[in-house]
Amino acid sequence: MALSLSPTAGIDMPAPHGGQAQVHGRNDAFSFWKLSEDWRPALAPTIGPSAAAAERFLLEQYLPDVERRPPSALRAYYCVKRLIPRALRHRLNSAAVHARRRLEFPRWPCESALVEFWRDWLRRGLELLGAKDGWHIGFWPDHTKCCIVLTHDVESPRGFERMEQVAELEEQYGFRSAWNLPLAQYPIDWGQVARLRARGFEFGAHGLSHDGRLFRSPRDFAELAPVLEQLAAEHGLRGFRSPSTLRDPRAIATLAFDFDSSFADTDPYEPQPGGTCSLFPFHLSRLIELPYTLPQDHTLIHLLHRSPLPVWMMKAKWIASLGGMILTLTHPDYCGDGVYLAAYEELLKRLGEMEGAWRALPSEAAGWWWQRARLRLQIDNGQPHITGLGAARAIALRLSEQPLAS
Ligand SMILES: [Zn+2]
């Protein structure tokens, strides 16, 4: 089907792997809401500027340029990291986080700036149209109201061994999750990967290794990206999360993956602090970005010394109330045993009780977001009509019934 979308306003990416120029999704407010095409001409003057305004958040452009890539001070740390025992490393990281200047923006654990921007644009749009209400294509398929995606990064052989136990718990509560593996950090038992895949779990690439090299310089990226892509292709890994969530959106957007999850909505505690403020997927050139939206177990346990469950549930309920995407990032290395595994089990139990939530694998959430981007909504005789591939799964909702709109 023909796609009337053009490349994103804020990022000018090189052609992705495979050579051919591809059509990219857009992050403007009209495309986010997926309003009726009948409204497009009247709203056209506001659509282009809305993409630039949204991408100020989504691509962390509110940060100075130097803070939108891995900090140079990390180089020294990665040189000695191997030599520091793990427990001491957590203590040093915790001290560093507490000593660091707290970002005033984005707030943590909840930042609503982008939600307010989407709402505000819609309110002004309705005013411009002289409309009190209207229709849009719901954010999630099959009449669901919000989305839950469970992901893990597996940092060590110990974490790898614990996958089975965590997977069993997830199955017990009716979930499947995704596991991201660093592909050159420790030996991977691909037989175990195949067994979990056969049960419906998904695997992604967590870079090659936690050595801080991938985005350190264009030279490092040029050397390592092809190795990473080759290994990922050999093992059928379509999703990426950068080690330590170090990130450079321009570089990530050129990687031969279908989706990425290296960004948070807000995470001031990572080595590269920041956040997209987004509780929904968005377009990162030809990739779909799936920001993690619940605080990491590692952050809460080792850096902040807080009990994870209350923070997780407070945030999860807030996201669900807005119809957004609850995307967890836990590590079986830290959360796959004892009291923390019990906390994770309780999280699964409570997420499992959320009504109308779509339980999706990252590949499903990303695939849906692409599909939704291609759908078209039109009003015929006052009734909404959605066309395009996947239209049967989509639902037209009145804006007045959409919690994010009010
Ligand atoms: Zn990691």
pLDDT digits (tens, 9 = 90+) for 32-63: 999 999 999 999 999 999 999 999 999 999 99
Q: 181 C-alpha to center of ligand 1: Å?
A: 8
Handedness of CA 105, 111, 112, 115 (dihedral sign): positive
User: Does any domain span residue 389?
Assistant: yes
Q: 328 C-alpha to center of ligand 1: Å?
A: 14
User: Does any domain span residue 5?
Assistant: no
**How far is it between the farthest Cα atoms of the chain?**
70
Q: 3 C-alpha to center of ligand 1: Å?
A: 36
User: Does any domain span residue 8?
Assistant: no
Q: Is 360 helix (H, G, I), strand (E, B) or coil?
A: coil
Q: Give the dihedral of Cα atoms 162, 166, 287, 320; nearest 10 deg.
A: -150
pLDDT of residue 95: 67
Rounded CA gap, 96 and 302, in Å? 12
Q: Which residue has the tokens 């893990």?
A: 152
Give me the number of domains the chain comprises: 1
| H-type alpha helices, 268-403 | 297-298, 308-321, 332-335, 338-352, 362-374
Q: 352 C-alpha to center of ligand 1: Å?
A: 26
Q: 323 C-alpha to center of ligand 1: Å?
A: 28
Q: 241 C-alpha to center of ligand 1: Å?
A: 8
**Structure token digits, residue 74:** 């990390």
Q: 353 C-alpha to center of ligand 1: Å?
A: 29
Q: 41 C-alpha to center of ligand 1: Å?
A: 45
User: Does any domain span residue 7?
Assistant: no
Which helix or strand (DSSP H or E) is residue 194 part of?
helix 190-198
Residues 232-286 have pLDDT tens digits of: 999 999 999 999 999 999 999 999 999 999 999 999 999 999 999 999 999 999 9
Q: Please say whether the beta carbons of 308 and 47 come within 8 A.
A: no
CB atoms within 10 A of CB 338: 8
Q: 48 C-alpha to center of ligand 1: Å?
A: 36
User: Does any domain span residue 13?
Assistant: no
Q: Please say whether the beta carbons of 61 and 55 come within 8 A.
A: yes
pLDDT of residue 103: 73
Rounded CA gap, 235 and 193, in Å? 10
Q: Please say whether the beta carbons of 245 and 153 come within 8 A.
A: no
pTM: 0.91
**Structure token digits, residue 255:** 């990687």
Rounded CA gap, 94 and 299, in Å? 9
CB atoms within 10 A of CB 99: 7
Q: 154 C-alpha to center of ligand 1: Å?
A: 7
The percent helix, strand, coil of the chain (3-state, each to 5) is 45, 15, 40
Q: How far is CA 266 from CA 111, 192, 380, in A?
A: 7, 33, 41
User: Does any domain span residue 325?
Assistant: yes
CATH code at position 298:
3.20.20.370
Task: Determine the residue type at 110.
Answer: C
Q: 238 C-alpha to center of ligand 1: Å?
A: 17
Q: 246 C-alpha to center of ligand 1: Å?
A: 10
Among 128, 126, 179, residue whose Cα is nearest residue 150: 179
| H-type alpha helices, 208-361 | 218-234, 249-252, 297-298, 308-321, 332-335, 338-352
Rounded CA gap, 247 and 264, in Å? 11
User: Does any domain span residue 4?
Assistant: no
Q: 358 C-alpha to center of ligand 1: Å?
A: 26
Q: 8 C-alpha to center of ligand 1: Å?
A: 29
Residue 144 phi, psi dihedral angles, 5° rounding? -85, 160
Low-confidence ranges of the chain (pLDDT < 70): 1-24, 73-84, 91-92, 94-102
Q: How far is CA 2 from CA 23, 373, 389, 391, 405, in A?
A: 10, 12, 11, 15, 29
Cis amide linkage into residue 182, ω under 30° from 0: no
Rounded CA gap, 326 and 34, in Å? 21
Q: 164 C-alpha to center of ligand 1: Å?
A: 19
Q: Is 200 helix (H, G, I), strand (E, B) or coil?
A: coil
pLDDT of residue 16: 40
pLDDT of residue 406: 82
Q: 317 C-alpha to center of ligand 1: Å?
A: 26
Q: 155 C-alpha to center of ligand 1: Å?
A: 5
pLDDT of residue 78: 67
Q: Which domain holds residue 274?
A: 23-406
pLDDT of residue 67: 85
User: Does any domain span residue 9?
Assistant: no
Q: Is 379 helix (H, G, I), strand (E, B) or coil?
A: strand
Q: 329 C-alpha to center of ligand 1: Å?
A: 10
Cis amide linkage into residue 109, ω under 30° from 0: yes
